C-alpha cells in the first residue's frame, strides 16, 4: 500500500455525508417534497419498479404532491404502494393523476422523525469511522512491512483523523439542521 490515497478516503467520507443527505430528503417535514416518494417501489409488469419510473412526481403546492401515472392500468398499484410505504400518506386517485395531501405532523410524530433522523446520522458516522479504521489498518500494515516510516505513519494518521473529524462534524451539522426542520411548526 505504502502511502494512503487521501483523496480516495476523502471521497468515500464525502459519499457517506451525501448518502445521509439523500436519506434526509425522504424524511418528512411539514412540507411537500418530491424526494418524499423516492423510497416508494411499485409492483408493475411483474417487477418492482421505483415510482419515478412509472409516473411523474410533482409538487403543485406546499402541502400537496401529485403523481401523473403514465400507464392508467398502473394507477391502482401506484396508489397502493404509496399507501403501504409507511410514510403516513393517504393518496386519492383522479383518473391517472394521484393527489397526495401532506397532513400536518403531530408533536408525537415529529419526535419519532427526529429519532429516525438521529439513527440515519449515526449510521453515517459509523460509515465514516469504518473508512478511517480501514485507512489506519492499511497505514499500520505499511509501517510494519517497512514501506513507510513511523514518522510518515504518524503524519498520515493525523491527516486521516482530521478528515474524519471534518466529516463527522458535517454529519452532526446536517443532522442538527434536519431536526430543526422537523420540529419547526
Q: What torsion, rounded to 10 degrees, do the Cα atoms 161, 166, 171, 177 define?
A: 160
pLDDT of residue 1: 47
What is the grid cell recorded at 104?
400536518
Q: Minimum mean pLDDT among 118-122, 165-169, 179-183: which range?
A: 179-183
22-47: average pLDDT = 79
All structural domains of the chain, each given as residue ranges with its CATH number in brackets, are: 6-25+106-183 (1.10.132.20), 34-101 (3.30.1360.40)
Q: What is the rounded distance in angstroms from the CA atom of residue 25 to the CA atom of residue 39?
A: 10
What is the grid cell recorded at 147?
514501506
Q: What is the rounded distance in angstroms from the CA atom of residue 184 to the CA atom of residue 35?
A: 19
| pLDDT higher than 80, residue 86 | no
CB 1 within 8 A of CB 144: no
What is the grid cell recorded at 28?
418528512
Amino acid at each position: 500500500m505504502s502511502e494512503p490515497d487521501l483523496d480516495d478516503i476523502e471521497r468515500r467520507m464525502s459519499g457517506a455525508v451525501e448518502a445521509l443527505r439523500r436519506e434526509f430528503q425522504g424524511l418528512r417535514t411539514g412540507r411537500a417534497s418530491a424526494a418524499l416518494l423516492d423510497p416508494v417501489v411499485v409492483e408493475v409488469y411483474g417487477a418492482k419498479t421505483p415510482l419515478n419510473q412509472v409516473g411523474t412526481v410533482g409538487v403543485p403546492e406546499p402541502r400537496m404532491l401529485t403523481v401523473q401515472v403514465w400507464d392508467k392500468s398502473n394507477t391502482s398499484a401506484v396508489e397502493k404502494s404509496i399507501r403501504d410505504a409507511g410514510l403516513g400518506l393517504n393518496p386519492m386517485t383522479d383518473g391517472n393523476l394521484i393527489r397526495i395531501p401532506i397532513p400536518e405532523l403531530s408533536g408525537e410524530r415529529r419526535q419519532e422523525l427526529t429519532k429516525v433522523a438521529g439513527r440515519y446520522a449515526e449510521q453515517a458516522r459509523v460509515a465514516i469511522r469504518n473508512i478511517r479504521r480501514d485507512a489506519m489498518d492499511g497505514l499500520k500494515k505499511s509501517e510494519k512491512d517497512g514501506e513507510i516510516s513511523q514518522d510518515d505513519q504518524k503524519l498520515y494518521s493525523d491527516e486521516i483523523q482530521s478528515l474524519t473529524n471534518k466529516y463527522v462534524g458535517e454529519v452532526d451539522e446536517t443532522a442538527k439542521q434536519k431536526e430543526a426542520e422537523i420540529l419547526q411548526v
